[in-house]
Structure 1
């Protein structure tokens, strides 16, 4: 079952990544990606992996040590749970970056490699987006300030 859940983790997330990268201007992409619930299937998989092992997981995350985390992730169940954890958060971050980039007017050709980097190496994809993000200010920055008085 663990191997199946491991494989299923990316399979349920991949369509959302494909929409953001390959069909960023399709009207249905915005409708689908606007929901934070797109991460729910991966969260359910994570729960299926972590809840049965909660007694082993809780000590490793409340008082983490390198050895404890290594031992936890060094099992098939632990590696599958770690993978689901990464996929869920990478998808959530990718979703945020995609939505924010649409508001700012960041070109899809700029976002595509950023999103691929987020899929592959989550925090580096986030860093890449945070680096390119200031170049586009979108509608929020050009709205005139209202002054009272």
Structure 2
């Protein structure tokens, strides 16, 4: 079961990534990505994978130690759970970044590579986006009254 769920975890997330990157101004994209529920399919896969291993995972995350956690993540079940976690949270972060970029009118040609990086290595994508967001937010602030 772990291998099958691992293989399909990205499939429900992929259309949203494609829309955000390739058609960011399309009304369908904006409507689809408006809902945080887009992360539910990979989150449900995570839950399905977690439940049978919950008694193994709980001690690993409540008192994390490198060696036991590394050992568990090296198993098919551990890798599949971690992958579902990555996909769900990467999509959640990517969705937030996309919506912020639309709100702040950040050009899609700037956002596309940042979103691609976010799919691959989300924390790096987030680190690329935050200064862009900060610069754009600063430009949006009204000038102080004289």
Q: Tell me which stretches of 4 or more aligned residues in structure 1 moved more than 4 Å.
A: none
Whole-angstrom distance in 1 between the partners of 2:68 and 2:85: 17
Is 1:118 equivalent to 2:109 in the alignment?
A: no
User: Which stretch of the first structure deviates more once superposed, 127-136 or 90-99?
Assistant: 127-136
User: Which stretch of the first structure deviates more once superposed, 98-107 or 130-139?
Assistant: 130-139
CA RMSD in angstroms, aligned pairs only:
1.7
Partner SS for 1:105:
coil
**Residue 138 of structure 1: how far off its partner (Å):** 8.7
Match of residue 61 from structure 2:
61
Match of residue 82 from structure 1:
82
In 2, are the aligned partners of 1:46 and 1:84 still within 8 Å (CA)? yes
In 2, are the aligned partners of 1:46 and 1:85 still within 8 Å (CA)? yes
Whole-angstrom distance in 2 between the partners of 1:14 and 1:111: 17
- Normalising by structure 1, what TM-score? 0.92
- Normalising by structure 2, what TM-score? 0.94
Match of residue 3 from structure 2:
3
Aligned residues: 145
Q: Gaps (5+ residues) in structure 2?
A: none
Q: Deviations over 1:40-78 (max 9, x none)?
A: 000000001011100000000000000121011010010
Aligned pairs for 1:1-149 (under 5 A) are 1-137=1-137, 141-142=141-142
**Residue 113 of structure 1: how far off its partner (Å):** 0.4
